[in-house]
Structures are given as structure tokens and as C-alpha cells.
Amino acid sequence: MVEKISDFLSWASQNPVLLKFIERDLMAWILISLLFGFITLLIELHLPLQYYWNLPTHALFSLLEGLGLSRKTPVWGYCLDRESKQIIPVAAVELINPDTKERAYLTYSNRLGQFGFKPTSGKYYLRAIKNYYQSPSLLDPENLQLVEIKESYTQPIAVSQLPANSPQSNLELQPIEKIDPHNPKQKLYYFIKNLTFALGNSFLGLGIVASLAAWAITKGVTFGILLAVSIILLFIKIYILETIGRVTTSAVS
């Protein structure tokens, strides 16, 4: 079997017609697949733009925890839709220094809506951010609207160093627009949206297979880079939803 694959790759690397197809047509299809997968990833996560940049780091920490190379992050609670009580995956959850009003820690809720941190002990403000839900203003970080602590998505919290004393607190976010599951137009919209997300996953998978095949035949650096990018995108798309991780930051804006 290995010899047959080796013989095929040797033949393919010397076939001018196949090489021309790979360099011109297949390259274009791979780029289209990655672009479509990337766009659907941005749409599916529903986060303000500034929170996307920490996702790769978060995924790396999550992977280390999954491999047992880092201490597990405790579950603090769930991000929930206040109206439907449904879980909210991939919401950005922050611990904010109450004195400086700067972000100290950032994580994301997983597919189960769970979130957690491994911070130093102290007092913080805890809040969740998600597109299509009411959130504190992100344009004015000095004004977090915390004068009376009325917002369900922002609350004070005290953290102890004892693992057994991890805070337990759910974050309920108020949706900006109520969804009527019986509305035919909204049902059609969500069907198309879910179909698009599924196609995005499929396109990323096809991009990985096509990039791997092209790289194996041509040994080209470009196809190697495309293969790495497609794997990273698919890894973030799947793994970020399954695990709890954390990103420690210093006054990220």
C-alpha cells in the first residue's frame, strides 16, 4: 500500500497536466474554501471583533488542559439566555479589575455554555459579552455602567485561592431581539444559517484534504501554509466549543 502511494506521488509530481491543474485550478478552490470557512467562522462565533484575536491562544491553553499538561480550569457557571434559559456557547467572559476598569482575565464559554477562570485571589467584576445580546459599552472602557450593579451580565465577584472555593455564578444575557420559533420566516432563516455553518465545516475539511494532497505532490511551501491555516481554522472551530480555557491579559483593549 505504501509503495503504491509512493509510486502515485512520484508519477503525479512529474505529470505536467496535473501539476498545472494543482497550481492554477486547485489553488483557487482551496483559497475559496478557506475564505468561505473563515467567513462562516466569524459569523458563527457572534463576537465583537476585538475578542477574535485571543481565540488561538485560548484554544492552545484548552489543548494543553485536554492533554493533561496544564491544571484544569474549574467550572464557575453557565452563560444563559435570560428569556429562553438556553445555554450560550462562545460568549466572551471577562474578569475586570474594579479599580483600574481594565480586563485582567478573558475566557470563552464552551459548547455547554460553561466558563471558568484560574485567576489570582481578589475582587473583580465578572461580565459576559456576545453579539445580539445587551452588553456594556465596548467603546468606552472607563464607563462599564456598574454604578448600581443592575446588569445581569455584569456582577461583582470575590475569588479565593482555594480550589474548593471557586465562585459559582451564572451569567444571564438579555437578548436584543426575541426569537419566535413558530415564525416561518425565522425558521427558514435559521435553517439556512445552520446549513451555511455545516457547509463551512465541510469546506474547511475539503480545504485540508486538497491542501494535503497538493503539498504531498508538489512539496510546495504555499500548499504547506494553506494546509496549516486550514487545520488551525478547523481546530478553532471545533475545539473552542468543546473545552474551557483561559487567556490572561493585561489591559487588552
Q: Can you give the pLDDT of all 253 residues of the chain as single tens digits?
A: 656 777 777 777 777 888 888 888 888 888 888 888 888 877 777 788 788 888 878 877 877 887 788 888 888 999 988 888 888 888 889 898 888 878 899 999 888 889 999 888 888 888 888 887 775 544 444 444 433 333 446 777 888 766 556 788 888 887 876 666 677 877 787 788 778 878 888 888 888 888 988 888 888 888 888 888 888 887 777 666 555 444 444 333 3
Using alpha carbons only, what angle is made at residue 110 by residues 168 and 134, rounded to the nearest 5 degrees?
75
Strands (E), the chain: 77-81, 92-96, 103-108, 114-115, 122-129, 154-159, 171-173, 247-248
Using alpha carbons only, what angle is made at residue 41 by residues 37 and 44, rounded to the nearest 5 degrees?
130
Q: Which three cell numbers stand for residue 138?
A: 465596548
pTM, to two decimals: 0.69
- Percentages of the chain per state (helix, strand, coil), in multiples of 5: 45, 15, 40
Q: Which residues contact 175 (CB under 8 A, 6 or more apart)?
A: 81, 82, 83, 132, 133, 134
